[in-house]
Amino acid sequence: MSWGIARWWLAGLTAYVIFLLATFPAAYALALLQKRLPDAQLANVSGSIWSGAAQEFALHGQSWGALQWHFDWRAPFVGRLGYRLQLRGPEIALQGQVAGNRNKLLLEDVRGHLPLSRLESWLPLPTGSVNGKLDLHLSQVLLVKLRPERADGTVNLTGVSLSWPQALTLGDYQLKLQTQAQNGIHGSFVDTGGPLVLQGTLDLGSNGHYQVSGTLTSRDPGNAALNTLLRGLPVDGSGHHPFHFTGQW
């Protein structure tokens, strides 16, 4: 076979491989992925691994809505593979860029909202006892083995209320996160309106040690329900209720 003919065969083979990769069905790739992530399920998958959708994304058996993904073609030029994801469901709208692997995950430009009730499994409260909305505006979050190592942006909680231990409106709150060189993640939180006045800080070290401290007080001394809830907490000389706890992530 002459070199000219061989070059045509090589060019054809290369084009065929590129075609296979470009149209590789997402369902096959996701079947392999779900073996590594058994808690996540995708149903009614269409498209390719580069651009596709699933009509339903579920985590731990709970449906979160429809998921779309698009490969980020800029990612290889900065040394990583990533996707732009968009999740939409009842009262849920989230989008952002995701890159990395199971041990190291980088999230960028994360924006959207979801009901607080979706986070019940991570809250130390009985099921169905908290309501409100969580709004995310995060420029960057780096997770190393699911532990945050970098986080920058703002988290807003609006319309927070409790139904346990009694029906009670708490208000709106904001958490600002900032990565500090050599000192991990620092956060400051404050109320932005409502019956419960809150001020405090959160610090998460690179070793996973965290501490949260601040004060609580009622904005209205005549709010009997809130005052009853706060009465069981320690109080300082100014009438505020301080709190402080530490732990290991």
Question: Which residue positions in the chain have pLDDT lower than 70?
Answer: 1-38, 74-81
Structural domain boundaries, residue 210: 102-248
pLDDT value for 31:
61
pLDDT value for 202:
95
pLDDT value for 150:
93
SS (HEC) of 130-169: EEEEEEEEEEEEEEECCEEEEEEEEEEEEEEEECCCCCEE
CA neighbours within 13 Å on the CB side: how many for 232? 5
| CA pair distance 166, 213, nearest whole angstrom | 25
For 249, the token pair is 């992530």
pLDDT value for 5:
45
Q: Is residue 142 part of a domain?
A: yes
Q: Is residue 4 part of a domain?
A: no
pLDDT value for 12:
41
SS (HEC) of 67-131: EEEEECCCHHHHCCCEEEEEEEECCEEEEEEEEECCCEEEEEEEEEEEEHHHHHHHCCCCCCCEE
Q: Is residue 187 part of a domain?
A: yes
pLDDT value for 42:
80
Q: Is residue 49 part of a domain?
A: no
Q: Is residue 111 part of a domain?
A: yes
Q: Is residue 2 part of a domain?
A: no
Q: Is residue 53 part of a domain?
A: no
Number of domains in the chain: 1
pLDDT value for 210:
92
